[in-house]
Structure 1
């Protein structure tokens, strides 16, 4: 029997409704929610592909304020979307009395969500590292005691190409330039703080979903263990019943033999009395 056939034969238990042919179908609310979450995850995966490309440009010659603004906006938007999807996943995972089809949807959705979230968290960490390197290089460029020579060049290459470009292109007075760079550094530090907050929130969400899935796994193991115990008890009871049936059959056979022997003896005795 195929999985689809098994699903179509599943009896309704509050999460299903009868179709025209008498079979049970999954709860439409569950189906709508799970499909909506899968669509949102698919959309997020497409956004992450573009975000990954943009983050790869940070700290290179193609780095510019517009790129950083786009990366920051994409990180914030994706973070909020992951929070929204995560709440939906928790709701799906907590659905009671699920059918086999719904159970499969739960597992697939949880697997897809954790994979997508793990990829996004990796992008967050990469963006954070590049943002911090950029701020460090910008501060070093404004510090008169910053490293010089090869050491200074290494720091600039690591994350400060954007700041060097901005300094070369700026047509400001020295103090105005310093103020401008300070404002940029402050803005970058605020972006770093917001990204860190998003990382923390998504870590909590990831742990919550993982805990729910773990608890469901324990429940499944308990149900499976109980089913095995019931099976073993049923087999034991069947063996005992068969043994009792055989015992009763043997007892009846012995009783019939005994009655037959007694009948023969009585017949012999009666014959002896009448003929004597």
Structure 2
């Protein structure tokens, strides 16, 4: 990672190899091993969250055409979406302590040695990129909730249609032997359909509650992160200003 990379905002390593290179760079500048390990972990958290968000976006796009996929395929994709949301929320929760530790890292000095400006910029950018990753995750979760509600409305409509069909068959029954048999067997089929639709509706409602609860939990984390970033914003802006002036003077 070069000085120009940090200046241009490319401070977060995007791969294990890049993170290792960054660690070596900061080690050569006298950064502590604890700081290097911490930034490496946070960078990995961000990478995993963004990778999951990219997969969720692909699933969300496929679910836009749910009416053409059929019930079974839609259910399969929706389950993948919900499971991946749960996994991603787990990553966010597990990484919160590392983010707080990164925030608590001294901006001024450690062990009597003043920390370098590139290290401070990376520290701030990791926090902001983590915040951006959560924001992107929140957006795709809310999109998933909308898809779930559409699927829920469709399932309820299917249940109403099945119930209405059963009612019509009973109303049209006559004493003839053939229609009496139809009247006897039709409610059984209709009841199975109704039970299936009811279980599907219950599943959809549970998934919606799960995602909505996850959104609320991450909103609290997001607010905490926003507060941390705002607290450090003035100091980081001043560092970036000084680095910008230095780069301008070197090019002059």
Aligned ranges for residues 36-185 of structure 1 at < 5 Å?
A: 36-58=41-63, 59-62=66-69, 63-98=73-108, 99=115, 100-143=117-160, 173-185=189-201
Classify 1:220/1:34 alpha carbon distance in 2 versus 1 (closer, same or farther; 3 Å): closer
Report the Cα distance in structure 2 between the residues aligned to 1:25 and 1:120, rounded to whole angstroms.
Answer: 35
Note if 1:33 corresponds to 2:42: no
1:127–1:3 Cα change, 3 Å: closer
* C-alpha distance in structure 2 between counterparts of 1:219 and 1:106, whole Å: 12
How far is the alpha carbon of 1:188 from its aligned partner?
1.0
Aligned to 1:263: none
Q: Would you say the 8 A contact 1:131–1:192 is kept in 2?
A: yes
Give distance in 1, aligned partners of 2:82 and 2:102.
30
TM-aligned CA deviation for residue 96 of structure 1: 2.1
Normalising to structure 1: TM-score of the pair?
A: 0.58
Distance in 1 between the 2:214 and 2:87 partners? 10
Kindly report the root-mean-square deviation, in angstroms, between the aligned alpha carbons of the 2 structures.
Answer: 2.7
- Is residue 103–residue 228 contact of structure 2 (8 Å, CA) maintained in 1? yes
Q: Deviations over 1:234-253 (max 9, x none)?
A: xxxxxxxxxxxxxxxxxxxx
Helix, strand or coil for the counterpart of 2:30?
A: strand
Name the CA distance, whole Å, in 1 between partners of 2:151 and 2:3: 54
Alpha-carbon contact 2:162-2:190 (below 8 Å) kept: no
Structure 1: stretches of 5+ with no match in the other structure = 5-22, 147-171, 224-276
Give the greater-gyration-radius structure (CA).
1
- Residue 30 of structure 1: how far off its partner (Å): 1.4
Asked whether the equivalents of residues 156 and 201 of structure 2 are also in contact (C-alpha less than 8 Å), the reply is yes
> Do the aligned partners of 1:93 and 1:212 also contact (CA within 8 Å) in 2?
yes
Shift of 1:144: 5.2
CA contact (8 A) 2:124 2:236 kept: no
Q: Which of 170, 174, 188 is equivalent to 2:204?
A: 188
Partners of 1:128 and 1:43 lie apart in 2 by 22
State the partner residue of 2:23.
none
Counterpart CA distance in 1 for 2:236 and 2:132 is: 22
Structure 2 Cα separation of the partners of residues 140 and 31 of structure 1: 56
> Could you list the runs of 5+ residues in structure 2 that have no partner in the other structure?
5-27, 109-114, 164-187, 240-252
CA–CA distance in structure 1, aligned partners of residues 57 and 211 of structure 2: 15
Say if 1:135 and 1:188, in contact at 8 Å, map to a contact too: yes
Structure 1 CA distance for aligned equivalents of residues 197 and 162 of structure 2: 17
